[in-house]
Structure 1
Amino acid sequence: MEYRIAPSTLACNLVNNSLYEPDYFMNMASFQALACPLDGDPLTQAEGAWRCPAGHSFDIAKQGYVNLLPVQKKRSNDPGDSKIMVAARQRFLNAGYYQPIAEALNHAALNGVPENMPLSCLDAGCGEGYYLRKLAQAAPDTALLELIGLDISKWAVMAAAKQSRQQEPNRQQEQSVTWVVGSNANLPVQTASLDRLLCMFGFPVMSEFSRVLKPGGALLQVEAGANHLRELREIIYPTLKPERSGEQAVPEGFAAQAAETVGYSLTLNGKEAIADLLAMTPHLYRASAEGRERAAALKTLIVSVDVRVIKWIKNA
């Protein structure tokens, strides 16, 4: 299935780029099925911390998130996206440029959800939380969401938790979304506890994704297509690498259900929007200094968005 959007429609979507969205937290509960990253035992929240039966304790930061990434699991002192990358992505996404992707994702995640039944969903590599917020906004009133956002970047999770607090000014205690610093390679989530799992342009670890999903649960994977950001890549690289051919193999433990292509053109006016797009992608570090200079000189850029939303179903 292919999803196309007219530029005029996208322009309308960009008119209101306010950070403060409607109050959609009434039908949400915080996700509780966390697991200790050290021994895998269930965690219980009490007195400003998450604790396991063995006595391991993880404090909830003042911003409202918990760090479940042990020092011994880190590959660097500050893994994941930098503070600058997170800020660039936050500005770009909140401007609405990727809203059609969020809409396609929401449809895939919410289609067929039974009324008045809890729906637990993890965004594995959540960044600053844009896609979870959009999912909450799109959910019907009859849905009871239990959302968890996880990222290996503490800066991303801090930004996500901060935005949640700004959108829930009257909520004095725990947030509606559980925000966690953690790794996809060792998800601090109890086995078979999730109905949905999102992986947005991220680093999928299918064995872990299969472990934490319930039988019949869905993995929503968003991947860049051959033409995604092609015009930008043609500017920053001397040549483009040949694209991978063929359909993605079905991951072990899953069955394919559906795939949808989201494609449209973006017009970026102004150096800041172009700089933010480059800064939020790995291309910032892969491009040469000359390539980055060519991008920095641009005042306007028309760029293609081309992504696939793939839905995998966990086998029973």
Structure 2
Amino acid sequence: MPTFEQLSCPIDKQSLSLQERSLVCPNGHSFDIAKSGYVNLLPVQNKRSKDPGDSKEMVSYRQSFLNLDHYFPIVKHMIDQWPDALKAQSPCRVLDAGCGEGYYLHHLLNEFSQRDVLLQGIGLDISKWAVTAASKRTKNATWIVGSNAGLPMPDKCLDLVLCLFGFPVFSEFYRTLSDQGYMLLVESGEEHLLELREILYPSIHAYKATHSDGIEGFTLVAESSLHYPFKLNSQDEIHQLLCMTPHIHKASYEGKEAVKELNEISVTAHVKFRWYQKATEEDHNAE
């Protein structure tokens, strides 16, 4: 069950304590816990728009697509690569930074519970619609509306930060990770959804690897990739996938119209995994 322990006020960084159905800091800032069980720790002054992040409609499309389990091999690959040091942590404090509607964290919690590995999961996303959906998916995690740019939690309170297809803020990940804590970046590979992109765009841009020069404060300890085909069997499934990706906004009108004519398509999943470990403060200061 979510504990809401070790969370910080997003306004003044003070510790939050649970008082009935609210989290309250010593200076009187109060944040109500929603009926579905999440808490909104994204103050109005920290929003760049009235309704930041994924829209309610986009979250619905993503949830429908992910529930088909075409991406479940990503969960399995993460578990297969899980560091022994994290398996030994009890509990292992995990933040899914940019959790979306909670698919990955939900399955990680379930899978590890069957292996007698205790995870204490926190899911955070800037979209209130995503976090609302996540909090309805499972009650076995702490769900937060918040921003990676200012994680509402104290220093060194996490053992692992996951960032799956998201927007990492490495300084905040470094701050909140315990000494020798881990960070996992999961990103699209060169051939990810290539068959769909070839229909959407007149040409495909050359692939550029991210963070090829390394990440300050972190040491790359393992990397791997996952490459497999899957099939979408209806226009509804194709539309769900398209609408949960940036391609729905980036692709041309002609490309999107061509995709509407499809009733099935086989596509490639190509996903890259990079495990990093937090450098010691001495090594970090020496960089």
- C-alpha distance after superposition, 1:127-162 (max 9, x if no partner): 010111111122155322211100000000000011
1:177 pairs with 2:141: yes
- Say which of 135, 143, 161 aligns to 1:197: 161
CA distance in 1, matches of 2:210, 2:141: 37
Q: How does 1:1-316 map to 2 (within 5 A)?
A: 30-109=3-82, 111-115=84-88, 117-140=90-113, 141-164=115-138, 175-244=139-208, 248-316=212-280
The amino acid of 1:156's aligned partner reads A
In the alignment, what sits opposite 1:171? none
Instruction: Say what the alpha-carbon RMSD is for the aligned residues.
Output: 1.6
CA distance in 1, matches of 2:279, 2:18: 31
CA distance in 2, matches of 1:142, 1:297: 47
- Give 1:259 deviation, angstroms: 0.5
CA distance in 1, matches of 2:210, 2:162: 23
* Cα distance change, pair 204–115 in 1 and its aligned pair in 2 (3 A): closer
* TM-score in terms of structure 1 length: 0.85
- C-alpha distance after superposition, 1:43-87 (max 9, x if no partner): 112210111111111000112111001111111111111111111
* Cα distance change, pair 122–238 in 1 and its aligned pair in 2 (3 A): same
Q: Is the 8 A contact 1:29 1:145 kept in 2?
A: no
- Give 1:247 deviation, angstroms: 6.7
Q: Is the 8 A contact 1:193 1:212 kept in 2?
A: yes
Q: Is the 8 A contact 1:199 1:222 kept in 2?
A: yes
In the alignment, what sits opposite 2:284? none
| Percent of pairs with identical residues | 48
- Give 1:110 deviation, angstroms: 5.6
Q: Is the partner of 2:26 in helix, strand or coil?
A: coil
Q: Is the partner of 2:66 in helix, strand or coil?
A: helix
Q: Is the partner of 2:110 in helix, strand or coil?
A: helix
Q: Is the 8 A contact 2:86 2:159 kept in 1?
A: no
Q: Is the 8 A contact 2:162 2:185 kept in 1?
A: yes
CA distance in 2, matches of 1:93, 1:40: 35
> Unmatched 5+ residue regions in structure 1?
1-27, 165-174
The amino acid of 2:128's aligned partner reads K
- Give 1:116 deviation, angstroms: 6.9
CA distance in 1, matches of 2:243, 2:141: 27
> Unmatched 5+ residue regions in structure 2?
281-287
- Give 1:312 deviation, angstroms: 0.5
Q: Is the 8 A contact 1:215 1:314 kept in 2?
A: yes
Q: Is the 8 A contact 1:217 1:314 kept in 2?
A: yes
CA distance in 2, matches of 1:189, 1:299: 46
| Higher RCO (CA-CA < 8 Å; seq separation 6+) | 1
- Give 1:283 deviation, angstroms: 0.7
CA distance in 1, matches of 2:19, 2:4: 14
